[in-house]
């Protein structure tokens, strides 16, 4: 039996898929926005990743679904929560990881793991959508930027403003009011990033801040957030270009274990 | 990890097969109670009372019918009627962050007390046992203003040491006498010590039976569901304490528990995880919540919530030989009237006595008394006690705060990680015996 | 006597020219993007052209809305509550309860027969009760804003939204779509949820016999229907109610101007 | 300045404290001792308030003194003072403290003062205190103390049960017993016995401070044009941070200067400010209330040092204290109102000749929120205009607050 496995991560914002080869090498991956038809998005994510890997679906031995929409991955054989998947994925890429910080579209998680990549303890933001990727999306929008632009811009700030609103929706009006007071958008952005990091730190402290931290989820692609987090922690954190895919990667790894466990 | 997709995505009511006669009897008691409250020819005066540290026996001995708005509120929530009441209370000006019980009750009162399970009568007297929750004071104050009836404040000292001081007991007993004088004045009846003692005999019998039931959770596997099942069986001990029905009820319950052990009918076919549950239940969705446990073979073997009416399992008993002192001691023993250090000690004892593998803390957004500090408790359990602990949050009364997908996600991840670690333990050596 | 009212809202900027406190000469709006003051100036120019008057003909300028302090040449600024209430009264003189659903906030106020605000309340906690939420739904569901209302009218079993959070409510909507709930039911559910929130504000200030809806959502037939259903009473709507705050501030500007004139006449006379 | 501090008996370890400490302590407080003009006092006050590290307690400690952090509202600081300890108001972290750890321990749907106080504890900012005192004013303050006992195990903290039964005669002996439990802890902490005589003197001193604060409040009520709300507030706030011996003369000087001012009242609406008895609003928010055209002629700001109008001395000072709390406390949301809310607010409106009420309640402060409903009903009945707003000790935008306050003022002014 082939050992090619796939992991499909249906998040609140994006659907991701990773296809792993026999040697646990990433053969293909995909990233799409999730729309209203989650079942189809899952299919599309898988197809896109398979297309990149140039592998027909029949050769995939095992598919694992994860993320909020994991129960909609009808074609899969296993569902695992994204918490376990991010843990596994992060520990795969950075074996020394003991704390995973995942900031996605709608939630933020801090996951403490052991050397086997297993979840020891985790905490998630329990208070609405504040402090998540969506928060940044909304604020970027209010300032008239694309979400990809705001991180780098925030790095050019000189005097970060203080953002106190704990609500995503009202943060938007706070941003607007800063704009109307003539504040530099870069300073506002820096303030927004700092405020998310502050909230993230509070989650991290909930499970215990460990020496090696890996930052995952879509927001880890944001250089401003990486910088702000490192600044607050006073040391570097692991990030990888793959970090938005770590949930899918972890799911695939879980599947791989199943396949091998079954084989062995 | 769960194979395949969830069979019941919405978790809609699956009737647990292990619940039998006792559950039927409990239903009957509830129905009769509300029928009595709502009956138009009701001649007895009505006293409102709070569950924690309540003085039901004394008040009943003067012929009062006792109404517990907290219990009415949780019944409304179970029957999906709380949101209407809450919205009504919000339009009266009660903010989003006010305790759901309070809002349900004040909203309901303002809508003439009509519920699907009976008409809630207006109070003639308000007895506030300030035992464990400051909101009690505000709530009863509001009722007193809207009904213009007397409010008796029974001030119960907060427990910071394991044993009460002499001054505490003196203070409480002296207040009990004040209440008796008030009741004598209002009813024109003389205090009847024998009637009170007779009730305390029944109370004590009920308390013994209730504790026997709770302690069944120590068995492995546990024949009882200490959280979800107790929610049902709390009714007699909290509402009907002092009556013969309540005391007899626990006889029936415990008979059934013994039968379960005999026949090996357990809450779940397989007890995979023994859980301690701390916190008030999400009554609006408690079935769904229960399903999240059952899916993972998690049985709650001990819970703190059923102790809000009194920590009987820690030794408090009403005692006809020392009527006043024992009532005073009892009133100190509501679970939320224990300081955090005492609460932590109780929980640590429970974990040991009931051999819990994990703890789930359910925080209530609108209840600070129970909830403020549960994060620290989680930390203490996880770190200092080495017990895997999950914290989740919703509300006891307000369905708007129950986010099933989020809660499920957390519980799945939590149990998944427990399973994973146990699997590794099994591979490395013998797992738990 | 021509007075102008400018409402610098969070979502849109609206302007009105009023003659003698009685007749609306022109009304217009523009999205509040970029520099709101610039937009307002542009708007005032357009209004002047439409009404065929020169820049000097506007004798008094009164601003209202989120950005009311930003307009440097204003003679007076008025808070949104006061101006919307006055605008509603201008349109429907027997109004006693005003519901204003704008971009970021829903507000209600009860008014006296003279338009004085008696009691008022706004949604402070969560943004799920206002127009921005509808805008987001329109984006998510890929239905243009103008079509949302008409589409919602076809609802048979509206699906209410339980989440109080605007952001989480979006997810809920998406779940509903995924579960195959028909679009009109979802949309009507949104409006009913908004209406319920507005209704609880209305009950807070006290239900009055004549109710008027003002603000951006008057343009939305779905919202109007939902509100009427929720409240169970008639609710006044008029296309001009979109401009209520601007109208109200022009009206208040007018009475202020009259007062000023009177007092100066009085002083001149003595 | 130095002689003022001499009133305090030197704490035991002061015996071998180097002379330099004493000089430094004096130096730190001399600024206040020397600050004669209001401007100087206010500048110092802002400085102290803007610094979340409790500079006054630090200064006191550095010189060998010991300080006790007191959570609002009804804390018997007189007892703390009688042990030679400095009671300092724990009034929250203000605008400058980032909350990142307290959320996790305490929970999310809670007032800011509880979170910032815990945050301060977790981040070492409460280091200058040797003990903490919490009154049972609400479930949050009560539970907070329980967390303190875990996160700061080496420093004693005490929760005082405040009786809610105001008619029972046994409440007095009970409350005295409560005080005695506190006293037992303080005796252990200071290693010296409780002295009723010293407590009697402390009560006198606090009464003196109360009388001055009352004079300030009367000025605010009768001649609001002479004193700005922020000024008034800062002067009061200092009273919970400085040694009383320093605050009293300072307040005297400030009062004299204010009373001399020749400022006319503006055409503003006299209002009562109800609700901020525990968590404190920002200075900007207070300023805003005045800016939109209100005079605050009665308030519940910074209650800590005047939880009762005055303590009547008696043979047993502990009984005097208990009687003051049980029989003559200032009536706020964390105490059962003996009459009705309507009667209570009417009395206050009359006393202050206020025309309206602004309820300014801390976000998530349940006692305050529940009171507002009852007050509201009573005010509507009496046709008194009111406004309810929520605040947090930290905020940067005031658009919503301004909008509502302006509308409130407009609704009274316009017709
Ligand atoms: N290139 C990027 N730069 C900055 N932020 C990004 C980038 N790509 C994605 N994001 C952020 O990541 C979030 C989505 O994260 P993701 O982990 O995919 O979410 P989920 O798994 O919940 O769908 C978006 O809200 C966005 O803010
Ligand atoms: N043509 C339209 N159809 C439906 N809704 C509309 C239309 N135009 C505006 N709206 C709604 O009105 C809101 C703007 O209301 P408005 O009163 O102008 O807000 P503000 O004054 O706060 O800027 C928008 O968020 C949108 O939801
Ligand atoms: S203990 Fe909690 S749920 Fe019960 S009345 Fe108090 S605040 Fe409400
Ligand atoms: S609307 Fe804002 S405050 Fe409300 S739950 Fe959502 S993000 Fe949180
Ligand atoms: S602000 Fe309110 S809820 Fe918070 S501690 Fe003070 S009284 Fe309690």
Same structural domain, C59 and C171 = no
**Which ligand ends up closest to the CA of B135?**
3
pLDDT of residue C242: 95
Domain count for chain C, please give it.
2
Tens digits of residue pLDDT in C55-99: 789 999 999 998 899 899 999 999 999 999 999 999 999 999 999
Q: What is the mean pLDDT of residues C118-145?
A: 81
In the block, tokens 């009705």 appear at D340
Q: Is B336 in the pocket of ligand 3 (CB under 6 A)?
A: yes
**Domain with B32 in it:** 21-426
**Domain with C205 in it:** 93-237
Q: Is C265 in the pocket of ligand 4 (CB under 6 A)?
A: no
**C260 in a structural domain:** yes
**C84 in a structural domain:** no
Q: Which contiguous run of DSSP H or E holds residue B159?
A: none
What the block records as the tokens of D70 is 């007191």
pLDDT exceeds cutoff 70 at B424? no
**C171 in a structural domain:** yes
Phi/psi at A139 (5° precision): -70, -40
**C85 in a structural domain:** no
In chain B, DSSP finds a helix count (H) and a strand count (E) of 16, 11
Strands of chain C, DSSP E:
2-8, 12-19, 23-31, 58-64, 76-78, 97-101, 106-111, 117-122, 211-214, 235-236
pLDDT exceeds cutoff 70 at B426? no
Taken in order B405, B408, B414, B415, the sign of the CA dihedral is negative
Q: How many CB atoms lie within 10 A of CB A118?
A: 17
Same structural domain, C104 and C232 = yes
Same structural domain, C133 and C202 = yes
pLDDT exceeds cutoff 50 at D1? no
Q: What is the mean pLDDT of residues B119-132?
A: 95
Tens digits of residue pLDDT in D206-223: 999 999 999 999 999 999
Burial D108-120 (b: 16+ CB within 10 A, else e): bbbbbbbbbbbbb
Residue A196 Cα, ligand 4 centroid: separation in angstroms? Answer: 14
The more confident residue out of D128 and D20 is D128
| Residue with CA at minimum distance from ligand 5 atom 2 | D365
Closest Cα in chain A, distance from residue D392 (Å)? 10
Cα Rg of chain D, angstroms: 21
Same structural domain, C72 and C164 = no
**C120 in a structural domain:** yes
Same structural domain, C111 and C225 = yes
Same structural domain, C167 and C125 = yes
pLDDT of residue C266: 63
Pick from D176, D202, D220: nearest CA to D354: D220
**C87 in a structural domain:** no
Same structural domain, A191 and A251 = no
Pick from B286, B289, B303: nearest CA to B225: B303
Strands of A21-158, DSSP E:
26-33, 62-66, 78-79, 99-103, 108-113, 119-124
> What's the pTM value of the predicted model, to 2 decimals?
0.90
What the block records as the tokens of A29 is 């991956």
What the block records as the tokens of B272 is 């995979």
With H, G, I as helix, E, B as strand and everything else as coil, classify residue D17: coil
Closest by Cβ to B1, choosing from A74, A78, A107 = A78
Size of interface B-D (CB pairs under 8 A): 160
pLDDT exceeds cutoff 90 at B327? yes
Q: Strand pairing partners for D389?
A: D360
Same structural domain, A122 and A232 = yes
Q: Would you call D103 an interface residue with chain B, using a CB distance cutoff of 8 Å?
A: yes
Q: Which contiguous run of DSSP H or E holds residue B328?
A: helix B323-332
Q: Is B311 in the pocket of ligand 3 (CB under 6 A)?
A: no
Same structural domain, A152 and A234 = yes
Do the beta carbons of residue C28 and residue C85 sit within 8 Å?
Answer: no
Same structural domain, A228 and A208 = yes
Distance CA C45, CA C49 (A): 6
**C124 in a structural domain:** yes
Ligand 2 contacts (CB < 6 A) are: C 9-12, 65, 102-104, 131-132, 134-135, 145-146, 149, 215-217, 219-220
Same structural domain, A233 and A247 = no
Q: What is the mean pLDDT of residues B193-199?
A: 96
Q: Strand pairing partners for D388?
A: D359
pLDDT in tens, chain A (264 residues): 678 999 999 988 899 999 999 888 999 999 999 877 888 899 999 999 999 999 999 999 999 999 988 888 888 899 999 999 999 999 999 999 999 999 998 889 999 999 999 999 998 876 566 778 888 888 888 888 999 999 999 999 999 888 876 666 667 777 877 887 788 999 999 999 998 898 898 889 888 888 999 999 999 999 999 999 999 999 999 999 999 999 999 999 999 988 887 543
Same structural domain, A140 and A229 = yes
Distance CA D139, CA B308 (A): 15
Domain count for chain B, please give it.
1
Distance CA C262, CA C270 (A): 12
- The count of residues in chain D is 415
Q: Would you call D98 an interface residue with chain A, using a CB distance cutoff of 8 Å?
A: yes
**Which ligand ends up closest to the CA of C239?**
2
Same structural domain, A225 and A103 = yes
Distance CA D112, CA B181 (A): 43
**C86 in a structural domain:** no
Q: Which chain C residues are within 8 Å of A134, Cβ to Cβ?
A: 167
Pick from A164, B371, B95, A135: nearest CA to D363: B95
Q: How many CB atoms lie within 10 A of CB A59?
A: 11
Q: Is C127 in the pocket of ligand 4 (CB under 6 A)?
A: yes
Same structural domain, C182 and C74 = no
**Domain with A207 in it:** 96-239
Same structural domain, A49 and A107 = no
Same structural domain, C103 and C178 = yes
Same structural domain, C160 and C57 = no
Closest by Cβ to A129, choosing from C33, C70, C167 = C167
With H, G, I as helix, E, B as strand and everything else as coil, classify residue B103: helix
Indicate which CATH number applies to the domain containing C165.
3.30.420.40
Confidence of residue D14 (pLDDT cuts 50, 70, 90): very low
Closest by Cβ to D410, choosing from C66, C78, C114 = C78
Tell which phi-psi region holds residue B11, choosing left (phi > 0), alpha (psi between -120 and 50) or beta: left
Size of interface A-D (CB pairs under 8 A): 34
Do the beta carbons of residue C27 and residue C16 sit within 8 Å?
Answer: yes
Residue D113 Cα, ligand 5 centroid: separation in angstroms? Answer: 7
Q: Is D65 in the pocket of ligand 5 (CB under 6 A)?
A: no
**Which ligand ends up closest to the CA of A152?**
1
Pick from D137, D85, D57: nearest CA to D307: D137
| Residue with CA at minimum distance from ligand 4 atom 2 | A167
Q: Is D100–A201 a contact, with Cβ atoms under 8 angstroms apart?
A: yes
Q: What is the mean pLDDT of residues D196-214?
A: 95
Same structural domain, A123 and A228 = yes
Distance CA A99, CA A110 (A): 7
Same structural domain, C103 and C231 = yes
Pick from D392, C76, C38, C35: nearest CA to A176: C35
Nearest CA in chain B to D173: B167
Same structural domain, A26 and A156 = no
Q: Report DSSP letters for D207-236, one per residue.
A: HHHHHHHHHHHHHHHH-GGGS-HHHHHHHH
Tens digits of residue pLDDT in D341-352: 999 999 999 999
Q: Specify the DSSP class assigned to residue D165.
A: -
Indicate which CATH number applies to the domain containing A156.
3.30.420.40
Same structural domain, C69 and C158 = no
Closest Cα in chain A, distance from residue B406 (Å)? 8
Same structural domain, C151 and C65 = no
Domain count for chain A, please give it.
2
Residue A168 Cα, ligand 4 centroid: separation in angstroms? Answer: 6
pLDDT of residue B21: 82
Do the beta carbons of residue D262 and residue D327 sit within 8 Å?
Answer: no
């Amino acid at each position: 039996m082939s050992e090619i496995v796939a992991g499909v991560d249906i998040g609140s914002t994006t659907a991701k898929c990773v296809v792993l080869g026999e040697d646990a090498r990433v053969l293909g991956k995909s990233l799409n926005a999730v729309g209203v038809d989650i079942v189809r998005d899952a299919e599309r994510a898988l197809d896109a990743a398979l297309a990149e890997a140039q592998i027909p679906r029949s050769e995939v031995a095992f598919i694992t679904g994860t993320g909020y929409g994991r129960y909609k991955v009808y074609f899969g054989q296993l569902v695992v929560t994204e918490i376990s998947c991010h843990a596994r994925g992060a520990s795969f890429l950075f074996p020394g990881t003991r704390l995973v910080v995942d900031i996605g579209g709608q939630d933020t998680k801090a996951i403490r793991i052991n050397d086997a990549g297993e979840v020891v303890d985790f905490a998630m933001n329990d208070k609405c959508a504040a402090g998540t990727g969506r928060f940044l999306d909304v604020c970027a929008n209010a300032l008239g930027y694309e979400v990809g632009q705001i991180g780098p811009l925030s790095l050019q700030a000189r005097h970060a403003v203080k953002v106190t609103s704990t609500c995503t929706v009202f943060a938007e009006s706070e941003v607007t009011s800063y704009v109307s007071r003539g504040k530099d958008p870069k300073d506002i952005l820096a303030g927004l990033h700092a405020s998310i990091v502050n909230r993230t730190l509070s989650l991290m402290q909930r499970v215990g801040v460990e020496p090696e931290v890996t930052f995952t989820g879509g927001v880890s692609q944001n250089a401003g957030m990486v910088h702000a987090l490192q600044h607050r922690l006073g040391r570097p954190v692991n990030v990888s270009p793959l970090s938005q895919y770590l949930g899918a990667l972890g799911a695939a790894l879980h599947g791989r274990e199943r396949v091998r466990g079954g084989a062995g | 990890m769960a194979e395949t997709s969830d069979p019941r995505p919405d978790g809609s009511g699956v009737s647990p097969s292990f619940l039998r006669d006792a559950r039927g009897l409990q239903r009957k008691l509830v129905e009769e109670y509300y029928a009595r409250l709502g009956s138009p020819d009701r001649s007895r005066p009505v006293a409102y009372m709070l569950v924690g540290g309540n003085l039901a026996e004394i008040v009943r001995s003067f012929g009062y019918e006792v109404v517990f708005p907290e219990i009415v509120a949780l019944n409304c929530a179970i029957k999906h009627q709380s949101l209407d009441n809450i919205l009504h209370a919000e339009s009266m000006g009660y903010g989003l962050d006010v305790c759901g019980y309070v809002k349900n009750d004040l909203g309901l009162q303002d809508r003439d007390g009509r519920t699907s399970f009976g008409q809630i009568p207006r109070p003639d007297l308000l007895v506030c046992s300030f035992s464990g929750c400051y909101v009690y004071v505000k709530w009863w104050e509001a009722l007193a203003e809207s009904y213009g009836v007397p409010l008796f404040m029974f001030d119960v000292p907060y427990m910071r040491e394991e044993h009460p001081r002499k001054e505490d007991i003196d203070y409480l007993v002296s207040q009990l006498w004040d209440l008796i004088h008030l009741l004598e004045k209002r009813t024109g009846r003389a205090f009847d010590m024998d009637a009170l003692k007779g009730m305390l005999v029944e109370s004590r019998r009920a308390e013994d039976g209730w504790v026997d039931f709770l302690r069944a959770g120590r068995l492995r596997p546990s024949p009882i569901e200490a959280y979800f099942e107790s929610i049902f069986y709390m009714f007699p001990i909290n509402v009907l304490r002092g009556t013969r029905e309540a005391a007899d009820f626990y006889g029936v319950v415990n008979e059934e528990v013994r039968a379960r052990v005999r026949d090996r009918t357990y809450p779940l076919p397989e007890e995979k995880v023994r859980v301690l549950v701390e916190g008030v239940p999400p009554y609006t969705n408690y079935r769904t919540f229960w399903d999240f446990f059952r899916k993972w073979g998690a049985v709650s073997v001990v819970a703190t919530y059923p102790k809000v009416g009194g920590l009987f399992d820690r030794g408090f008993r009403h005692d006809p030989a020392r009527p006043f002192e024992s009532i005073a001691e009892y009133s100190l023993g509501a679970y939320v009237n224990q300081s955090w250090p005492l609460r932590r000690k109780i929980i640590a004892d429970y974990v040991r006595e009931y051999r819990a593998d994990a703890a789930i803390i359910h925080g209530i957004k609108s209840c600070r008394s129970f909830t403020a500090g549960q994060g620290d408790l989680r930390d203490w359990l996880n770190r200092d006690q080495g017990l895997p602990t999950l914290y989740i949050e919703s509300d006891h009364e307000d369905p708007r705060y129950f986010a099933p997908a989020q809660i499920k996600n957390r519980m799945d991840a939590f149990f998944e990680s427990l399973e994973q670690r146990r699997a590794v333990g099994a591979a490395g050596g013998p797992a738990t015996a | 006597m021509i007075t102008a009212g400018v409402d610098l809202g969070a979502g849109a900027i609206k302007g009105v020219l009023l003659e003698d406190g009685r007749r609306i000469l022109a009304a217009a709006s523009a999205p509040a993007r970029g520099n709101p003051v610039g937009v307002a100036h542009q708007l005032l120019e357009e209004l002047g052209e439409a009404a065929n008057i020169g820049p000097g003909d506007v004798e008094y300028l009164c601003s209202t809305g989120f950005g009311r302090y930003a307009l440097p040449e204003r003679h007076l600024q008025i808070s949104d509550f006061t101006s919307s209430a006055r605008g509603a009264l201008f349109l429907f003189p027997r109004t006693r309860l005003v519901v204003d659903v704008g971009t970021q906030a829903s507000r209600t106020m009860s008014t006296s027969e003279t338009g004085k605000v008696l009691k008022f309340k706004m949604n402070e906690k969560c943004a799920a009760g206002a127009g921005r939420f509808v805008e987001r739904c329109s984006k998510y569901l890929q239905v243009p804003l103008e079509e949302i209302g008409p589409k919602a009218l076809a609802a048979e079993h509206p699906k209410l939204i339980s989440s109080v959070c605007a952001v989480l409510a979006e997810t809920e909507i998406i779940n509903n779509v995924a579960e195959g709930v028909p679009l009109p039911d979802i949309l009507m559910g949104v409006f009913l949820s908004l209406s319920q929130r507005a209704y609880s504000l209305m009950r807070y200030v006290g239900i009055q016999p004549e109710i008027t809806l003002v603000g951006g959502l008057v343009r939305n037939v779905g919202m109007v229907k939902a509100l009427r259903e929720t409240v169970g009473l008639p609710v006044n709507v008029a296309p001009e109610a979109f401009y209520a705050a601007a109208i109200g501030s022009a009206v208040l500007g007018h009475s202020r101007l009259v007062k000023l004139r009177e007092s100066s006449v009085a002083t001149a006379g003595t | 300045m130095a002689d003022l501090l001499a009133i305090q008996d030197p704490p035991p370890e002061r015996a071998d404290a180097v002379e330099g400490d004493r000089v430094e302590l004096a130096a730190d407080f001399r600024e206040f001792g020397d600050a004669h003009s209001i401007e100087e006092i206010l500048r110092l006050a802002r400085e102290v308030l803007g610094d979340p590290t409790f500079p006054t307690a630090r200064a006191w400690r550095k010189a060998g003194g010991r300080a006790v952090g007191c959570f609002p509202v009804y804390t018997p600081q007189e007892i703390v003072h009688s042990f030679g300890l400095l009671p300092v108001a724990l009034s929250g972290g203000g605008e400058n403290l980032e909350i990142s750890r307290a959320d996790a321990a305490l929970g999310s749907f809670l007032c800011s003062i509880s979170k910032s106080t815990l945050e301060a504890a977790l981040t070492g900012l409460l280091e200058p205190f040797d003990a903490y005192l919490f009154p049972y004013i609400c479930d949050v303050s009560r539970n907070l103390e329980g967390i303190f006992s875990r996160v700061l195990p080496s420093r004693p903290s005490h929760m005082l049960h405040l009786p809610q039964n105001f008619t029972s005669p046994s409440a007095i002996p009970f409350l005295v017993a409560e005080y005695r439990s506190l006293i037992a802890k303080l005796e252990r902490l200071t290693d010296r016995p409780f002295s009723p005589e010293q407590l009697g003197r402390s009560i006198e001193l606090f009464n003196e401070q109360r009388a001055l604060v009352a004079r300030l409040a009367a000025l605010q009520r009768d001649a609001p044009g002479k004193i700005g709300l922020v000024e008034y507030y800062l002067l009061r706030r200092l009273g919970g941070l400085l040694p009383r011996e320093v605050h009293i003369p300072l307040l005297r000087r400030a009062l004299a200067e204010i009373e001399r001012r020749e400022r006319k009242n503006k055409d503003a609406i006299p209002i009562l400010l109800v609700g901020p008895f525990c968590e404190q609003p920002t200075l900007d928010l207070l300023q805003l209330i005045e800016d939109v055209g209100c005079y605050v002629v009665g308030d519940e700001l910074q209650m800590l040092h005047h939880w009762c109008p005055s303590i009547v001395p008696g043979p047993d000072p502990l009984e005097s204290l208990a009687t003051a709390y049980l029989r003559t406390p200032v009536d706020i949301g964390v105490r059962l109102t003996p009459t009705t809310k309507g009667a209570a607010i009417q009395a206050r409106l009359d006393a202050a000749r206020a025309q309206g009420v602004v309820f300014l309640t801390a976000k998530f402060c349940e006692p305050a929120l529940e009171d507002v409903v009852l007050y509201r009903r009573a005010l509507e009945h009496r046709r008194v205009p009111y406004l309810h707003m929520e605040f947090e000790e930290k905020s940067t935008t005031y658009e919503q607050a301004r909008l509502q306050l302006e509308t409130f003022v407009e609704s009274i002014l316009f017709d």
